[in-house]
Structure 1
Amino acid sequence: MDGPSHHDQNRTSEELPPPPYSLYDELGSALTDGSGTVLSDNGRINIHLDSKVERTLSRFIDLRPNYEQNFDHESKQKHYRHLQAQQDPPSIPNSCAGIAATPPDEPFHVPFPLPLNIVIQIVGSRGDVQPFVALGTALKRHGHRVRIATHNVFANFVQESGLEFYPIGVDPADLMAFMVKNPGLIPEMKTLREGEVQKKRAMIATVLDGCWQSCIRDDPVTNEPFVADAIIANPPSFAHVHCAQALGIPVHIMFTMPTDNGQTFPKPRDWPAHIDVCGFFFRDTPVYQPPPELERFLKSGPPPVYIGFGSIVVDDPLKLINTVVDAVGEAGVRAVISRGWSNIVGPPNTNIYYIDDCPHEWLFRHVAAVVHHGGAGTTACGLRNGRPTVVVPFFGDQPFWGNMVAAAGAGPSPIPHASLDAENLTAAIRFCLRSETASAAQTLARKMQNESGVTAAVNSFHRHLPLDRMRCCVLPDQAAVWQYTKGSNRVLRLSKPALETLLQLGKIDVKKIQCYEPNPIHIENRRWDPLTGSLSSVTATGTNMIQGAGEMLYNPATNGNTDDSNSDISSRAYKSNGLATAGNMAAGTLKGFGKFTGGYFKGVTVDLPHAAAEGFRQVPRLYGEQPKDYGPVRDWKSGAIVGGRNFVEGMADGVAGLFVKPVKGAIEEGALGAIKGFAKGSIGLATKVPSAGIGLVAYPLHGITKSIESAFRSKTRKAVVHARLRDGSRQTYKMHLTPEQQGQIANKYDSL
Structure 2
Amino acid sequence: MHVMLTTYGTRGDVQPFVALGRGLIDKGHRVTVAAPGRFAVFITDHDLEFTPLTDALIALMDDPQFAHASDPKVSALGKLRSLFAIGKKARGLQDTLLDDIFRAIEQGKPDVIVFHPKTFGALPIGRHFGIPVVMAQLIPSFIPTGDYPHMGIPDLGPSGILARWYNRVTGKLICRVLNATLRRQVCRWAVRRQNGIETKSLDILRSCKSGTLPIIHAFSNAVINRPKDWPTHATVTGYWFLDGTAQTNPPDPALQNFVESHKNLIYIGFGSMPGNDPTAMAEMIAEAVSQAGVSAIVATGWGGMGDIDWPSNILAVREVPHKWLFPKVDIVIHHGGAGTCAAALRAGRPSIIIPFFGDQPFWAKCLHRLGVAPRPIKPAKLDAAMLAQQIKTVLETPSYQNNAEHLASKIAADDGIANAIAEITRAAEQSDLPKTGSL
Per the shorter chain, which TM-score range? 0.7 to 0.9
Q: Is 2:89 aligned against 1:199? A: yes
Q: Is 2:380 aligned against 1:418? A: yes
- Partner SS for 2:236: coil
Q: 1:173 to 1:372 in 2, by over 3 A?
A: farther
Q: Is 2:115 aligned against 1:233? A: yes
Q: Is 2:281 aligned against 1:281? A: no
8 Å Cα contact 1:234-1:253 kept in structure 2? yes
In 2, Cα distance between the equivalents of 1:439 and 1:216?
Answer: 50
8 Å Cα contact 2:266-2:295 kept in structure 1? yes
In 2, Cα distance between the equivalents of 1:207 and 1:318?
Answer: 35
In 1, Cα distance between the equivalents of 2:393 and 2:296?
Answer: 16
Residue 461 of structure 1 aligns with an amino acid whose one-letter code is I
In 1, Cα distance between the equivalents of 2:373 and 2:228?
Answer: 30
- Tell me which residue corresponds to 2:10: 125
Q: 1:400 to 1:192 in 2, by over 3 A?
A: closer
The answer for unaligned runs of 5 or more in structure 2 is 71-75, 141-217
- Partner SS for 1:252: strand
Aligned counterparts, 1:272-671, within 5 A: 272-287=231-246, 288-345=249-306, 346-434=308-396, 435-467=398-430, 469=432, 517=435
In 2, Cα distance between the equivalents of 1:322 and 1:468?
Answer: 56
State the Cα RMSD in Å.
2.7
Q: 1:182 to 1:210 in 2, by over 3 A?
A: farther
Q: 1:165 to 1:418 in 2, by over 3 A?
A: farther
Q: 1:162 to 1:155 in 2, by over 3 A?
A: same
- Partner SS for 1:412: coil
Q: How many angstroms does 1:189 deviate by? A: 4.8
Q: Is 2:133 aligned against 1:243? A: no
- Partner SS for 1:465: helix
In 1, Cα distance between the equivalents of 2:355 and 2:120?
Answer: 24
Q: Give the number of the structure whose alpha-carbon radius of gyration is greater.
A: 1
Residues 104-130 of structure 1 deviation map (CA, whole Å, 9 limit, x = unaligned): xxxxxxxxxxx2x22111111111101
Aligned length: 352
Q: 1:464 to 1:182 in 2, by over 3 A?
A: farther
In 2, Cα distance between the equivalents of 1:213 and 1:202?
Answer: 18
- Partner SS for 2:235: coil
Q: How many angstroms does 1:348 deviate by? A: 2.9
- Partner SS for 1:119: strand
Q: 1:420 to 1:466 in 2, by over 3 A?
A: same
Q: How many angstroms does 1:420 deviate by? A: 1.7
Residue 126 of structure 2 aligns with an amino acid whose one-letter code is A
Residue 95 of structure 2 aligns with an amino acid whose one-letter code is A
In 1, Cα distance between the equivalents of 2:351 and 2:117?
Answer: 27
User: Equivalent of 2:20, from 125, 135, 142?
Assistant: 135
In 1, Cα distance between the equivalents of 2:399 and 2:229?
Answer: 36
8 Å Cα contact 1:383-1:445 kept in structure 2? yes
Q: Is 2:230 aligned against 1:271? A: yes
Q: How many angstroms does 1:343 deviate by? A: 2.5
**Comparing both chains, which one has the higher relative contact order based on Cα–Cα distances under 8 Å and sequence gaps of 6 or more?**
2
Q: 1:319 to 1:202 in 2, by over 3 A?
A: farther
- Tell me which residue corresponds to 2:210: none
- Tell me which residue corresponds to 2:190: none
Q: How many angstroms does 1:181 deviate by? A: 4.9
8 Å Cα contact 2:275-2:304 kept in structure 1? no
Q: 1:401 to 1:161 in 2, by over 3 A?
A: same
In 1, Cα distance between the equivalents of 2:220 and 2:5?
Answer: 30
Q: 1:214 to 1:416 in 2, by over 3 A?
A: farther
In 2, Cα distance between the equivalents of 1:260 and 1:462?
Answer: 19
- Partner SS for 1:149: strand
In 1, Cα distance between the equivalents of 2:56 and 2:290?
Answer: 35
Query: Structure 1 length as normaliser, TM-score?
Result: 0.44
Q: How many angstroms does 1:328 deviate by? A: 1.0
In 1, Cα distance between the equivalents of 2:112 and 2:220?
Answer: 34
Q: 1:182 to 1:205 in 2, by over 3 A?
A: farther
Q: How many angstroms does 1:422 deviate by? A: 1.4
Q: How many angstroms does 1:196 deviate by? A: 3.2
Residues 693-726 of structure 1 deviation map (CA, whole Å, 9 limit, x = unaligned): xxxxxxxxxxxxxxxxxxxxxxxx6xx4xxx4xx
Aligned counterparts, 1:8-19, within 5 A: none
Q: How many angstroms does 1:264 deviate by? A: 5.8
Identity of aligned residues (%): 34
More off after superposition, 207-216 vs 250-259: 250-259
Residues 633-671 of structure 1 deviation map (CA, whole Å, 9 limit, x = unaligned): xxxxxxxxxxxxxxxxxxxxxxxxxxxxxxxxxxxxxxx
Q: 1:228 to 1:394 in 2, by over 3 A?
A: same
Residue 191 of structure 1 aligns with an amino acid whose one-letter code is S
- Tell me which residue corresponds to 2:49: 164
Residue 375 of structure 1 aligns with an amino acid whose one-letter code is G
